[in-house]
Structure 1
Amino acid sequence: MDLRVEPWQRPAHHATGREAVAMLVAFAGDDVLTELALAGTVPETAPVDALNVHLHRYAEEPEWIDGFRTGPLRDLAAQQLPDLRPLDEATCCYTIRVAVQDPPDLAHLQLAWQVAASVARAGAVAVLDVYAHDWFPGEAVAALDAHRPFVPMREISVVAEAESVPGFGHPVHTRGMIKFGRPDLVIGVPEDQIGDAATILNQLGRMLAEGEVLEPGQDLRVEGKRVLTVVPYRPGGRIPDVALIDDGLLIVDAAS
């Protein structure tokens, strides 16, 4: 029986020269990781040489660590974790970072998550996906199956901002496309179109995760009739700044 872990595929991969980066932060009550055994849990193509795992102690870097568990990220943690006390009591964290150039598959993501799973099995209480802004209880990460299929929308987030911006509408945008070496996507819509906008971004996010490329000036036909255009995302004026990690693309109606 072949128990090899197959890499998550990008069937539409196009080379872009962009860097794909995954970064996870695993919080623990102590220095829990004594060894990192990855054999049989990651694909043979996993870029182990690009893996960087670093221990941060609260006694040495209090402000840096608290930056992840205060403010907006804490608000998200309150929604996504069953109990904030273990996170608050954590005295250290591990950063898990993998950066690769223009990957033809997604073994770098599998590698990052398997390292996080190892730390979680050793005692980490919570894991933050830094670029997607998603929190996971330690037990959930510890239980990840190395052979699970790739689900794009578990790797990125689609966020609808509550505040409407005059002349733009409610910003709806992705977070986490840097994990695929692709720009995040932004669209502005009236409140009653937020759901439709999220569906569009989910579809486009999947395409980009699988390796497609969107270019400024490109037209997109959705729902069989509506035509959208891709333009550079440049905050300023009526275009709000949604604080993307990297660069972005704005999706507008072709008539705009």
Structure 2
Amino acid sequence: MSATPEAWPRPYWQPSDETIVLHFYVFGRFADELAIPAARYASAGLPEGVQLQRFAHAALRDWEGYPLKGALGELLKEDAPAAFDLAHAAPDVLVVRGELADRDSLDYLRDTLGVLAGLLDVGGRAILDPQILTLFDPDAWRRHYLVPGGAPPRNHVLILRHPDEGEGRSHVRTRGLRKFGRPDLSLRHVPDAHAGQAGMLCERLAELQALGARFVEGQPMEVEGLPGELVAHPGGGRDDPQFNNTHVAFDWPV
């Protein structure tokens, strides 16, 4: 049976020149003739601009960008060893990737996730979301993404914390907002005691951006409990290894 698609609107959408980037690896064993039951998950199929490519896993293992080796491979193996073993042993790899112009709904994401869910039903054993550095087995992926009404934006974004310049300071940032055609977030010089607050703020700002909001240079933002305003400074680019994306920087007021 097919589910009826529901619109995934972006109520705060403001047009931008940013590009939406989708990128997933599906590891498994697939029939030669691939029939994907995407309609079961309220998907109209992959949106225009997003393609599915099929590879023999053995042919990818020596590729420079092969995600199951090197630093990323070690991270994935440590974080999800069972899913890593399933992915590593799979004979086939499907790569779902594409770039789209910014748009006023998230229907493109609904449709892509529906295709990925369908691939799990026809032989998929693990899905890698490299934009959030996470490898899922089928059950974990369904719990994370197949949420009634659509998974919340937080599920699509990784929030990270690193030591920053200055004793007792942290850098709190995101990865993954390219899925929404929006820059990632960077909160610098956060006192360690406020790191939890900064993480929650990143979550709220990521949701606003996923639903279409944008920040412009010099835009002030008042946050309850802070001694001063946060001021937005967009910048960066896809070649920045911390984000693989543009980002909006905010300096934590002191």
Scaled to the shorter chain, the TM-score interval is 0.7 to 0.9
Q: Which residue number corresponds to residue 201 of structure 2?
A: 200
Alignment RMSD:
2.9
Q: Which residue number corresponds to residue 129 of structure 2?
A: 129
- The reply on whether 1:87 has 2:87 as its aligned counterpart is yes
Q: Which residue number corresponds to residue 243 of structure 1?
A: 242
In the TM superposition, what are the counterparts of 1:207-246 in structure 2 within 5 Å? 207-223=208-224, 225=226, 226-233=228-235, 243-246=242-245
CA contact (8 A) 1:28 1:126 kept: yes
Q: Which residue number corresponds to residue 118 of structure 2?
A: 118
Q: Which has the higher helix share?
A: 2
How many pairs align? Answer: 247
Q: Which residue number corresponds to residue 104 of structure 1?
A: 104
CA contact (8 A) 2:46 2:112 kept: no
Mapped to 2, the partners of 1:5 and 1:50 lie a distance apart of 20
Mapped to 1, the partners of 2:109 and 2:4 lie a distance apart of 16
- The reply on whether 1:50 has 2:49 as its aligned counterpart is yes
Q: Aligned-pair distance for 1:3?
A: 4.8
- The reply on whether 1:182 has 2:182 as its aligned counterpart is yes
Q: Aligned-pair distance for 1:94?
A: 0.9
- Between stretches 151-160 and 54-63, larger displacement belongs to 54-63
Are the structure 2 counterparts of residues 166 and 178 from structure 1 closer, same or farther at C-alpha, using a change threshold of 3 Å?
same
**TM-score, normalization: structure 2?**
0.84
Q: Which runs of 5+ in 1 are unaligned?
A: 236-240
**TM-score, normalization: structure 1?**
0.83
Are the structure 2 counterparts of residues 76 and 102 from structure 1 closer, same or farther at C-alpha, using a change threshold of 3 Å?
same
Q: Percent identity between the aligned chains?
A: 20
Amino acid in structure 2 at the alignment position of 1:216: E
Superimposed CA distance per residue, residues 29-83 of structure 1 (whole angstroms, 9 cap, x where no aligned partner) = 4667721243353356x76322300112233222338731232353244324545
Mapped to 1, the partners of 2:133 and 2:32 lie a distance apart of 24
Q: Aligned-pair distance for 1:168?
A: 9.6
Mapped to 2, the partners of 1:73 and 1:171 lie a distance apart of 24
- The reply on whether 1:165 has 2:192 as its aligned counterpart is no
Amino acid in structure 2 at the alignment position of 1:227: E
- SS in structure 2 at match of 1:35: coil
Runs of 4+ in 1 over 4 A off after TM superposition: 29-33, 142-147
Mapped to 2, the partners of 1:41 and 1:25 lie a distance apart of 19
Superimposed CA distance per residue, residues 98-150 of structure 1 (whole angstroms, 9 cap, x where no aligned partner) = 42211111111112211111211112221111212222212343676485334
Mapped to 1, the partners of 2:168 and 2:25 lie a distance apart of 34
Q: Which residue number corresponds to residue 238 of structure 1?
A: none
- SS in structure 2 at match of 1:63: coil
Superimposed CA distance per residue, residues 191-217 of structure 1 (whole angstroms, 9 cap, x where no aligned partner) = 222211111111111110111101121
- The reply on whether 1:149 has 2:150 as its aligned counterpart is yes
- The reply on whether 1:61 has 2:70 as its aligned counterpart is no
CA contact (8 A) 1:158 1:175 kept: yes
